[in-house]
Structures are given as structure tokens and as C-alpha cells.
Chain A
Amino acid sequence: DAGVIQSPRHEVTEMGQEVTLRCKPISGHDYLFWYRQTMMRGLELLIYFNNNVPIDDSGMPEDRFSAKMPNASFSTLKIQPSEPRDSAVYFCASSLAGPGETQYFGPGTRLLVL
């Protein structure tokens, strides 16, 4: 299996622009997670899905962030409008069962908002 695939790997944009991050989970995994990692705050859970349905989005920082999972093999995390404080590494992870099980992380998208 190719593992969790994320794109783009790097994104540089200007403040106010829309940013879309993409994730393809491991085939057959029921759960998909979006995380954000910064030096200051560490790795934070933003939202997770079970069978394409959002279960917990309490970690989404504000209305500028939205996530969708239109099917079992694809998810997006969108930031509109982006701000410099959104600069971070965004990880997608997938799991066969619940959050207590092994999560397989993608390589991350490094986002820089100027």
C-alpha cells in the first residue's frame, strides 16, 4: 500500500488567499484525521471523520477552516481566507478503527502564509 498521500507537500501563499489541502487515506481505513503541528502548540487534532461523516470538529480553530470527505478515498481541508498564523505543518492520518487504534500519518503539507 502507498500509505496516506497528501498534497501539496509544500504551499506558500499570501494572506487572504484560499488554501486547499488534500488527503487520500489508506484504502479500507474507516477513520480519517486532520492535525496541525507547530512548535508552539505541538500536534493538535483539528477534526476527524468516521465513514466519511465528521465526528468531532471541536479542534477546528474558527470558521475560516472547513473540512470535507466526499468519499472514502478523499478528504480536503480548506482555509479561507488564510492568515499568517495558519502557517504550520498539516497532517492527515487514517485508521482502521477508532482513535485509540494505530493512526497512519501522511508526510504532511508544510503551509506558509505570508
Chain B
Amino acid sequence: TQLLEQSPQFLSIQEGENLTVYCNSSSVFSSLQWYRQEPGEGPVLLVTVVTGGEVKKLKRLTFQFGDARKDSSLHITAAQPGDTGLYLCAGVDSNSGYALNFGKGTSLLVTP
């Protein structure tokens, strides 16, 4: 099992601030996904990045996949209370082709 380390573990900011969360591993992944999980619900997919160096934007969220496909970042511009939740990254292992490994997540709280 490839370990995915996410940082920071917890983040509390005020509405309007910018933030970046990170997902790092020593393993190479064929693709990496970011999910958001709200309390009492299951994770919901936000984006999949496949190519090293790839940048994807989803409104105020910017996702980047590292050149070596071992790490990724999520940047949120002008955070809003609706962004509150647990952000999880998940990697598809290049060797096996199928194992889906999740990080422990970054718990984000955005206060008005």
C-alpha cells in the first residue's frame, strides 16, 4: 500500500482567505483524485489529474499534479464557508493498476 501524506491535517481560516493543501507520496501514481467529504456523508469526487504537471481549475479551486506524479496540491482562492469539509486525495497505483489509496485528509473550516 502506497502512503499518501496530506498536510496540513487541520486548517481554520476566515472567509475570503486563500489556502493550499498538499498531498505527497514517495510512490508514483498513474492518476490522482481529490474528493471532498462533508460531515455525515461520503466523499464526492472533485477532480482527477492524470498527466505530470497537469493543472486543472474548478471555479475557485486549482489542482496541480506534480511533474513526477508523486504529489499534488489544491489551492482555494477566496475561501467561502461552503468550502468547509474534509479534502481527501487518492492515488491509483502505477504498478498494480487498480489499488485506490486515500490520504487521511485535510479538515478545512471556513468561518464567515
A residues neighboring B (CB under 8 Å): 4, 33, 35, 41-45, 55-56, 91, 93, 98-100, 102-103, 105-108
Contact = CB atoms under 8 A, between A and B. Distances in A.
Interface string B7-48: 000000000000000000000001101000000111111001
Interface string B41-79: 111110010000000000000000000000000000000
Interface of B: 30-31, 33, 40-45, 48, 88, 92, 97-105
Question: Which 6 residue pairs across A and B have the least CB separation, nearest first?
Answer: A105-B42, A42-B104, A100-B92, A43-B102, A99-B100, A99-B98
6 contacts: A44-B102, A55-B98, A91-B42, A100-B100, A103-B100, A108-B42
Contact of A43 (B30, B41, B88, B97): B88
Contact of B101 (A33, A41, A45): A45
Contact of B42 (A45, A93, A100): A93
Contacts of A103: 45, 100
Which of A35, A42, A43 has the largest number of chain B CB atoms within 10 A? A43
Contacts of B100: 33, 45, 99-100, 103
B105 A102 contact: no
Contact of B40 (A33, A55, A107): A107
Which of A41, A55, A105 has the largest number of chain B CB atoms within 10 A? A105
Given A42-B102, A43-B102, A55-B98, A107 B45 contact: no
